[in-house]
Amino acid sequence: MRRRAVLKFGAAGVGAFGLTLAVGWWRADGPGALAPVGERPLPLSEMGFRLTDHEGQLVEPSDLIGQPSLVFFGFTYCPDVCPTTLSDISGWLDALAEDADRLNVVFITVDPERDTVDAMAEYVGYFHPAIRGWTGPEDQVAQAVEDFRATYEKVPAEVGGYTMNHTASVFLFDASGDFASTIDYHEPREYAVPKIRRAIEETSEGAT
């Protein structure tokens, strides 16, 4: 117990130092050069929303702490980008083989009106079994999008009522729940998989 606390503290120190460096890089040269640092997702521990997973269980972001996590937004009435994202991620998970068990993978819908728990269950069932589908009340989904510093908007469509524009990036968090990086959907497997593997390996190093 005590050893754990020391480790945690140590990890936090290293994390803080790393973050200082990372923020510097992020501000100066990184993709964050255009967006303020405040645009990065909150740590999972500071997020404040509750949703229901595709098996009907109440879930919250802090449930994900303990393993690295991949989180992304989408909706099941999206014919192109969302199945592509889910199948790309399924491909990454296939490449990770049994290491995929050491990862949380969460698909949060931005269209809770149509994406009920049952709709999410049916949809995620076609992809890698590690992928969880989260939905819930409109205000909780809005809170989730805000906590991730993501965006979404409902756009009227000629047919089918409406479509949704939404942030397409996949957010990668480390095991302590801090934001690590984003992976673009469509990012080639040879870049995406090492990013995820690094997060998993950092977790196992931290545990020994």
> CB of residue 197 vs other proteins: minimum separation in angstroms?
20
> CB of residue 5 vs other proteins: minimum separation in angstroms?
38
> CB of residue 166 vs other proteins: minimum separation in angstroms?
6
Nearest CB to other proteins, comparing residues 61 and 74 = 74
Question: 75 and 116 in contact (C-beta within 8 Å)?
Answer: no
By the criterion CB under 8 A, which residues form the site for other proteins?
34-35, 76-81, 83-84, 86-88, 90-91, 122-123, 126-127, 151, 155, 158-160, 163, 165-169, 182, 184-186
Nearest CB to other proteins, comparing residues 167 and 203 = 167
CA distances from 18 to 23, 77, 96, 152, 167 (A): 8, 40, 26, 31, 26
Q: Give buried/exposed letters for 88-117 (b at 16+ CB in 10 A, else e).
A: bbbebbebbeeebebbbbbbbbbbbeebeb
Angstrom distance (rounded) from CA 53 to CA 45: 18
* End-to-end Cα, the chain, rounded Å: 14
CA distances from 187 to 68, 127, 135, 181 (A): 19, 18, 25, 13
Nearest CB to other proteins, comparing residues 149 and 198 = 149
> CB of residue 134 vs other proteins: minimum separation in angstroms?
18
Nearest CB to other proteins, comparing residues 60 and 113 = 113
> CB of residue 193 vs other proteins: minimum separation in angstroms?
15
Nearest CB to other proteins, comparing residues 20 and 87 = 87
Residue 143 CB coordination number (10 Å): 17
> CB of residue 4 vs other proteins: minimum separation in angstroms?
37
Q: Which amino acid would we find at residue 13?
A: G
Nearest CB to other proteins, comparing residues 8 and 186 = 186
Angstrom distance (rounded) from CA 28 to CA 34: 9
